Amino acid sequence: MGSDVTSMALHPELNVLAAGTADCTVHLLDSETLAPLANTDSLCSDHEEGASMDIGSLSFLPSGEFLLASNANGLVLLNTLAALFEN
């Protein structure tokens, strides 16, 4: 990861750890080995000058099907795991 980790979430059933970083990227890691599984491009491509880019919170829904990510500017994104693995 090229930036500081600012938030983390553990999948409720799979060995998947989501890590949000200061450059507004979410990385999916194997929770046992920390090997990279997938990552998104920057989620904040249309940010305002000087706006916070940190992923402030991450949460898997209890079903594990969706991952919520948000930053300090109130941007909230809902991704399916399938969509994240496509990148």
Whole-angstrom distance, CA of residue 70 vs CA of residue 73: 8
Strands 16-21 and 5-10: antiparallel
Range with lowest mean pLDDT among 12-16, 39-43, 64-68, 83-87: 83-87
5-86: CATH class: mainly beta
| Every domain of the chain and the residues it spans | 5-86
User: What does the pLDDT look like over 16-31, one tens digit per residue?
Assistant: 999 998 888 888 899 9
Per-position DSSP letters for 23-51, written without gaps between them? TS-EEEEETTT--EEEEPSPS-TTPPTT-
Note the pTM of the prediction, 2 decimals.
0.81
